[in-house]
Structure 1
Amino acid sequence: MVRLTTDLIAKSIGRKHHNEEHLAQYLRKITHLNLSDKNIDAIGDLSVCKNLRVLYLYDNQISQIQNLDFASNVTHLYLQNNCISCMENLSPLKNLEKLYLGGNCITVVEGLEKTEKLKELHIESQHLPLSEKLLFDPRSLGSLAKSLSVLNISNNNIDELEELSVLENLSYLTAADNQLQHMKDLEVVLSKWTKLRRMDLTGNPICHKPKYRDRIIIMSQTLESLDGKEIKEMERQFLINWNASKAAKKKKGETMTNEHAAYLHFSDFKTHPILPFHYSHSGKEKPNFLALSDMQKVERISLPRTLEKK
């Protein structure tokens, strides 16, 4: 077991022969600390590192986020590929801008209510229990609504995105290798993500839907790249015009269908016409009052001129 302490830092930077006072002065000044792949399983007391801005702790054996009360100045925290199962004790990191947690065992995105400056969250490829998906705490999402611009949630068995629609400043979403399959779900979030520039959904069932790319380009007016392929303005304009033309033809077809139906309804009166008069046994014309009564109910039918003269 290896615990992250100031002694470990001293060894890693080759200052084990300096006295404690010089070491303390150095630790108070450092802004970047890289202790990745050191087999560390716990974060100890680093309170002397008050000016730390960037902390690299990826590729270790850390199971719990702890002892970061000193880290109010940290802007970048790299904790990917550890054994972390719970997002906790992150409240002191009030200036945190980028958080990397990919490749851990996290089941719920939470504990971010105080990290209101967070711009990037990378939480891809969690080692989830069988058939479970990554979940999101609404309180954390609400806190990140105005700040988060980059989100990586790839390979987390996610089957819908609607709850993420509150992230109004999102500009780059990576959600590859999930279980997204409904275009309606995408339509909802894309109408809210008015600043989205790039999106990657490769490896999702939705990618096999008919005209998948065309439909998404029409849904989002701001998207510049989809699944790693650039969206050119000429392509978007063509699809918008094509879709508008298709909609117009459909509307025209519906109008013609309605008019045809109305004509068929009106033609029922002509199938078996009732003459406005009938002949008596003497051969003289007599008004057919039943016919006249029925005809008066149909405004568009005019009386024969022969009957008008009479």
Structure 2
Amino acid sequence: MYDTDGHELCLIDSGIKSLLNVPIRPNLQVINLHSNFIQRIENLQNVYQLKHLDLSSNQLTYIEGLEGLASLRTLNLSCNFLSDVRGLAGLRSLVKLNLSHNQIEDVSGFKSLHGSDYRLTHLELHGNKLVSRKHVIQCLSGCVNLRQLTLDVDSTPNPLCNHSEYRQEILKGLPQIQSLDNVDRDGISSEKKEVLADIPGKSWLYGKGMNIMNYRVYQ
């Protein structure tokens, strides 16, 4: 289902097994394919204007096929089967990344986002299998614009969070972080700043009285 301008595509819970079966238009800015059966990220090589991509609750095992998405601002790959974060290189405009509830053990891929040219500020990693605090600090230390990090939210921690000095070590090793697990450095609950306010699809998805959750396309 496209919006009236053809800039947004939303096919939630539509039985889709492959992105090759999805009609991807070059002028798309928003793609929401939450809750399908997609196993590979592909067929996105010509969507140069894409700003927001949601492939959460699919069957992805690798991050791939994102190299040409220079305009991408938000990426949601939560609730998949990812074990590492390789495949993010080149996403200089990315502001928010949700990788929660995967099987991630290795975050070395974040080294490809080091430097002031990369805009990543919000990162969600809770509900994974990260064990080493030192590894996380080494891999995220060069993400100089990172401000909000979640490793333990809603009782879904990583193993590294079970250490008594977890919070102190992460905040010391990542001085750029302002909020860890939605709590700021002063121990005060920090409200999540909405970085998705510019998504063109918000009014379309929720303001036109359509039940998109029940819209299905069978391939």
Same fold? TM cut 0.5: yes
Tell whether the 8 Å contact from 1:197 to 1:222 is kept in structure 2 after alignment: yes
Q: How has the CA–CA distance of structure 1 residues 104 and 122 changed in structure 2, closer, same or farther, with 3 Å as cutoff? A: same
CA drift of 1:69 comes to 6.9
What is the distance in 2 between the residues matched to 1:112 and 1:159? 21
Q: Does 1:109 align with 2:55?
A: no
SS of the counterpart of 2:93?
coil
Judge conservation of contact 1:32–1:52 (CA < 8 Å) in 2: yes
Is 1:174 aligned with 2:121?
A: no
In the superposition, relative to structure 1, how do residues 80 and 134 fare at CA in structure 2: closer, same or farther (>3 Å)? farther
- C-alpha distance in structure 2 between counterparts of 1:116 and 1:160, whole Å: 24
The answer as to 2:79 corresponding to 1:142 is no
Equivalent position of 1:20 in the other structure:
none
For residue 151 of structure 1, report the CA deviation from its aligned partner: 1.0
Q: How much does 1:218 deviate?
A: 1.3
Match of 1:160 among 100, 106, 124: 106
Question: Which 5+ residue runs of structure 2 have no aligned equivalent?
Answer: 189-219
Whether the 8 Å contact between 1:68 and 1:92 is mirrored in structure 2 is no
Give CA-to-partner distance per residue, 1:200-235, whole Å, 9 cap, x none. 10110111123111111112222121112122399x
Q: Aligned-pair distance for 1:115?
A: 1.1
| CA distance in structure 1 between the partners assigned to 2:173 and 2:31 by the alignment | 35
Q: What secondary structure is seen at the aligned counterpart in 1 of 2:89?
A: helix
Q: Quick one: distance in 1 between partners of 2:99 and 2:10? A: 21
Hey, what's the Cα distance between the residues in 1 that align with 2:84 and 2:166? 26
CA 1:70/1:108 → structure 2, altered by over 3 Å: closer, same or farther? closer
Instruction: From 228, 245, 256, give the equivalent of 2:182.
Output: 228
Shift in Å at residue 53 of structure 1?
1.3
How far apart in 1 are the matches of 2:123 and 2:43? 26
Tell me what 1:58 maps to: 12
Q: Percent identity?
A: 29
Q: Deviation at 1:68?
A: 6.1
- d(CA) in 1 for partners of 2:158, 2:166: 11
- How many residues align? The count is 180
Whether the 8 Å contact between 1:148 and 1:167 is mirrored in structure 2 is: no
Greater RCO (CA < 8 Å, at least 6 residues apart): 2
Contact 1:68–1:90 (8 Å) recurs in 2: no
Going from structure 1 to structure 2, the CA distance change for 1:59 and 1:196 (only over 3 Å counts) comes to same
Give the structure with the higher percent helix. Answer: 1
Aligned equivalents of 1:89 and 1:70: distance in 2? 7
Residue 184 of structure 1 is matched in structure 2 by 134
Task: Give the structure with higher Rg (CA).
Answer: 1
Give the CA RMSD over aligned residues: 2.2
Structure 2 residue 143 is the aligned partner of structure 1 residue 197: no
